A = this chain, B = another copy of it.
Amino acid sequence: MAEVHQATCTAPVNIAVIKYWGKRDTRLILPTNDSLSVTLDQDHLRTVTTARADPSFQAGARLWLNGVEDEIKTGGRLDACLIELRRLRAEREASDASLPKMSEWGLHLCSENNFPTAAGLASSASGFAALAVTVATLYGLDDILSPSQLSMIARRGSGSACRSVFGGFVAWESGTKEDGSDSLAVPVAERDHWPELDVLICVVNDGKKGTSSTSGMQRTVETSPLLQHRIKHVVPERMAKMREAIAQRDFGAFTALTTADSNDFHACCLDTAPPIFYMNDTSRGIVHLIEEANRARAEEGKEPLAAYTFDAGPNAVLYMRKGEDANTVLRLVQHYFPGADFEDTFNLLGGGAGAPHRGETEPQALPTLPPSFNREVIPVHPVGSVRRLIHTRVGDGPRVLERGLGKESLLKEDGTPVRLQRAKRA
């Protein structure tokens, strides 16, 4: 059997605490402002991608996403990533004649998320990061490209994907050059820098499909007067303060900045013509709940319970301290939003780590809270308003699972996917 040229890698999801919204160049995906994110643990949320190059494959590339073949549009974002990766491979081949001419071979790409699409989590960040890392590994570019250089390739697929090439706390520096060569991700702090930070994702039930972030953000750039102020004045100041808050592990400052920036971002969406709404009444309920808990703690001179942030959708991502605080947040959310599915990753509820819980449909007892906490701050919401809770933590960067055809491969020996799904209707 001929040698199999293949790599299988994973990349993590990241959630911004200083938000990216708006491009100064839509083709190169260059943002209007810096942003900063927290990388989540790939043990819970990740994209895994297998890439194989073979001279017998048809020229160009084929892609399967979660077992369904997807068209690769010429001139599209994925195409832009692949062109850049092939170009770099061809350079290597030109300088070392012993290398196989993979840059000219067809490519099979197979990608899967370990979280259900139904979870409502954006997968483009982990997806394009995994793609860039996997093809770079296949092409042997991982030795010559720094992660920041790799982040520029991932960026061409989806802006926020560039931040998923690092673990821990990551900044995307917008850069100023027209060719985008200084618009890249840089590490702010390692995953282990702030080990007590935990994350609870609240997947919110939402009837309708919202505005896509790609079209939404450019409408904001074109129509919102407030966004210009955010870009020029609000974000630069907040980026500096956020770096400092992370450096000092100052959860109070981290919470104030994270919540303010989430609200500022959604304010700019609302200031768009026509306005864009991503948060719904359930999202608002979560905000009121966390703000009230934080207020009651502040009254006792204590640090906040949790920080909330919302991306381009209704789901809340909560940052909190692990242990007792995480337990309080979980039980608070479960009380006011009954019926959410939950896998008890860290055995907070005592039924064993990873135990699945079909959320109780009756409201659960409240955890211990400061006496001034107003229990009437929001009503107990209808069952299933929050569909699912995912408890995770800060994670590491992309992982190379294997080179060649092994047990991690998503492609069979014949180059077709291990798992094939019937295509869904659009």
Contacts and interface: CB of A to CB of B under 8 A. Distances in A.
User: Which label, helix, strand, loop or mixed, suits the secondary structure of the A interface?
Assistant: helix
A233 interface: yes
B275 A271 contact: no
A277 B260 CA distance: 14
Given A229-B225, A233-B225, A271 B267 contact: yes
Interface string A377-393: 01100000000000000
A378 B226 CA distance: 27
A274 interface: yes
A49 interface: no
A182 interface: no
Given A225-B264, A233-B225, A291 B270 contact: no
Given A226-B229, A226-B234, A264 B271 contact: yes
A271 B19 CA distance: 14
Interface stretch (A54-62, A84-92, A95-103, A280-288): A280-288
A208 B288 CA distance: 12
B379 A267 contact: no
A230 interface: yes
Interface in A315-352: none
A259 interface: yes
Given A225-B233, A225-B234, A273 B277 contact: no
A268 interface: yes
Interface in A209-255: 223, 225-226, 228-230, 233-234
Name the residue in A226, A234, A259, A379 with the highest tally of chain B Cβ atoms < 10 Å from its Cβ.
Answer: A226
A399 to B, nearest CB: 38
A155 interface: no
A416 interface: no
Contacts of A226: 226, 229-230, 234, 264, 267-268, 271
A364 interface: no
A80 interface: no
Interface of A: 207-208, 223, 225-226, 228-230, 233-234, 256, 259-260, 263-264, 266-268, 270-275, 277, 280-281, 284, 287, 291, 295, 378-379
Given A223-B260, A263-B271, A277-B284, 19 more contacts: A208-B379, A225-B233, A225-B234, A225-B264, A226-B226, A226-B229, A226-B234, A226-B264, A226-B268, A226-B271, A229-B233, A256-B273, A263-B270, A263-B275, A267-B267, A267-B268, A267-B270, A270-B270, A281-B281
